[in-house]
Amino acid sequence: MSDLYASNAQLEGWDELELEMLRTELETLYQVSSVLSCSLNLKETLNGMLRALQEGVGLERGMVSLMDEQSGELQVSLVYGIADKLTEEVSYQPGEGIVGAIMKTGNSIVIEKIADEPRFLSRLGIYNPLGSFIGVPIRNNKKIIGVLAAQPALGAEVLLDEYERFLNMIANLIGQSVRLSHEVAEEKNVLTEERDVLRRHVRGQHGFDNIIGHNQAMRKIFEQVRLVAKWNTTVLIRGETGTGKELIANAIHYNSPRARGSYVKLNCAALPESLLESELFGHEKGSFTGAVAQRKGRFEQAEGGTVFLDEIGEISAPFQAKLLRVLQEGELERVGGTRTIKVDVRVVAATHRDLEAEVEAGRFREDLYYRLNVMPLFLPPLRERMEDIPDIARFLVEKVGTMQNRQLSLTDAALRVLMNHEWPGNVRELENCLERAAVMTEGNVIDRDAIMLSGINEKSQLNHSVVAETNLDDPDMDEREKVVAALAQAGWVQAKAARLLDMTPRQIAYRIQTLNIKVRQI
């Protein structure tokens, strides 16, 4: 093309030149469309477009200036071929110089010879003063957002009108690219903000502050979790069902360096062994009936993050050997596959079983036990941390209230009933009890009667160790609680309890009957 322009074509060859120009413009448009489909990075896209203009139709030193929304100035965003020579930012006010005039008026400007145009400021110092210059506005939804300019090769002045038309076409494409880039950037900012909000929310939901416990055993657990969360050490969480093992696992992941990675959970007791292997390790297409496509397992899904294996004590001996390989070598093979896959995951496991007894009985591999038991955490049952029940109960009542879209609270009498129960089902049983009590509560205050209707009445009376220490003069206690407390302190001897309450034996017998108190036989 440069030879063609340098030949100083005469009018006799105009038709042939026009056809050649059309062909090169089409080729250049194709190159520009290819650039548009390759990248969402605006700088890369603009650079590719300007390169196509120079190499395709000989429009050299292509320059794109875009409006800075904050300052209102035209900022030179890119000049093809000299980006490394721009030592400082170059900008134009609307109406300043040729570029500013295009921005202000919205009209294209074509200069046959730069040296003859007094408005040409030549701030970049890159254009040949003996050559021509073309500048066109860049629009986005009819709004002018910038200027596209270039200098045709020397000798091509006869094609200035054609160049102007072609640059306007390219400017329209640039406008669309700028719009798309801004939309992508805005969407990315929104997604980033939502991600950060969700991360903060998740950290709040699963952080240490969300785990309630003030007794010495729980404070020790919290300290251990803080320490172990920093490292990739395998953790085995031990404790009875309902003690909050999953909460501890959540806290470990979301307070670890892997918090930005995936957190994948699986209850090993919920699946048969045949499905458990596929679920954890994945499978290849056609490896078994129903395997219509390749599928990654939980370990691959958690790459760079954490896998939480709940009820690890329930897995069979053959599967224990396969799991051991992943823990030792960080390697696995999908079901039906032959390729060894490396995985980088942290394993947190949990069980309510006595694994030492399981190893002794030959039901659990000793080598897997030692691989899992690198950092054991023992969660105490709720009956060993009764002082935490009021705080846990209030937290759970607030949670139930949120689910039921109302504000709930507990009376002191209701809390005392909860304090007198042994809670064999631990926190999960406590939560179920409070949810049942909330369902049976008409208003917003859960009282003692609602707790007793939830099914723990008899158990609460049988455990009188806490009631025995109760102050019978406490003004917050109702009549029933005082009678039960007095009976407990009196060893369930009614005459003795009557004296504690300054009553006659007949009076206390009447109250036992009317208040539906089951007398404990000693």
Element housing 139 (H / E): strand 133-140
Strands (E), 241-317: 263-267, 282-283, 295-296, 306-310
Give percent of the chain above pLDDT 90.
30
* Candidate from 376-390, 413-427, 472-486 with smallest mean pLDDT: 472-486
Instruction: Indicate whether 394 pLDDT > 80.
Output: yes
* Predicted confidence (pLDDT) at residue 465 exceeds the cutoff of 60: no
Burial (CB < 10 A; 0-12, 13-18, 19+), residue 466, is middle
3-state SS class at 415: helix
Read off the tokens for 211.
Answer: 């785990």
Give the distance from CA 407 to its chain's centroid. Answer: 29
Q: For residue range 50-77, list pLDDT tens digits in order.
A: 888 888 888 888 888 888 877 777 777 7
Q: What is residue 205's predicted lDDT score, i.e. its pLDDT?
A: 65
- Compute the Cα dihedral for 17, 20, 26, 27 and give only its sign: negative
Res. 460: pLDDT tops 50: no
| Integer CA distances (angstroms), 217 to 224, 425, 465, in order | 11, 19, 21
What is the pLDDT at residue 520? 61
Residue 514's SS3 state is helix
346-351 vs 306-310, strand pairing mode: parallel
- pLDDT for res 357: 93
Average pLDDT over residues 260-271: 91
> Rounded mean pLDDT of 16-21?
70
Average pLDDT over residues 479-501: 83
7 compared with 361, residue with greater pLDDT: 361
Q: Is the pLDDT of residue 47 over 90?
A: no
Q: What is the mean pLDDT of residues 351-362?
A: 94
Q: What is the predicted pLDDT for the residue at 5?
A: 42
66 exposed, middle or buried (CB, 10 Å; 0-12, 13-18, 19+)? buried
Mean pLDDT of the chain: 83
Domains with residue ranges and CATH for the chain: 2-184 (3.30.450.40), 209-380 (3.40.50.300), 383-514 (1.10.8.60)
| pLDDT for the residue numbered 486 | 85
* β 282-283/295-296 pair status: antiparallel
- Of 249, 232, 346, 252, the closest CA to residue 299 belongs to 346
505-514 vs 479-489: helix crossing angle, rounded to 10: 120
Please report the pLDDT score of residue 240 as a whole number: 92
pLDDT digits (tens, 9 = 90+) for 156-215: 777 788 888 889 988 888 888 888 888 888 888 888 888 777 766 666 666 666 678 788
Residue bearing the bigger pLDDT, 16 or 173:
173
Comparing CA positions, the residue from 349, 343, 376, 385 lying closest to residue 249 is 349
Amino acid at 320: Q
pLDDT tens digits, 279-325: 999 888 888 877 778 889 999 999 999 999 999 999 998 899 989 99
Strands 306-310 and 263-267: what pairing?
parallel
- Looking at residue 467, its pLDDT comes to 43
- pLDDT class for 8, splitting at 50, 70, 90? very low
For 373-379, what is the mean pLDDT? 94
Q: What is the mean pLDDT of residues 65-92?
A: 73
What pLDDT, on the 0 to 100 scale, is given for residue 291?
77
More confident residue, 468 or 262: 262
Which H or E run contains 378?
strand 375-378
Predicted confidence (pLDDT) at residue 10 exceeds the cutoff of 60: no
Which of the two residues, 40 and 453, has the higher pLDDT score? Answer: 453
Residue whose tokens read 């094609």: 159
DSSP letters for 488-502: HHTTT-HHHHHHHTT
Question: Pick the residue with more confidence: 137 or 491?
Answer: 137
For residue 406, what are the CA distances in angstroms to 443, 506, 509? 9, 44, 40
**Count of CB atoms situated within 10 Å of the CB of 379:** 25
Instruction: Say whether pLDDT at 366 is over 90.
Output: yes
Indicate yes or no: pTM above 0.75. Answer: no
Residue 78: what pLDDT?
Answer: 77
**Model confidence over 101-122: pLDDT tens digits?**
898 888 999 988 888 888 888 8
Dmax of the chain from CA atoms? 132
Residue 287, pLDDT score:
80
pLDDT-based confidence at residue 480 (cuts at 50, 70, 90): confident
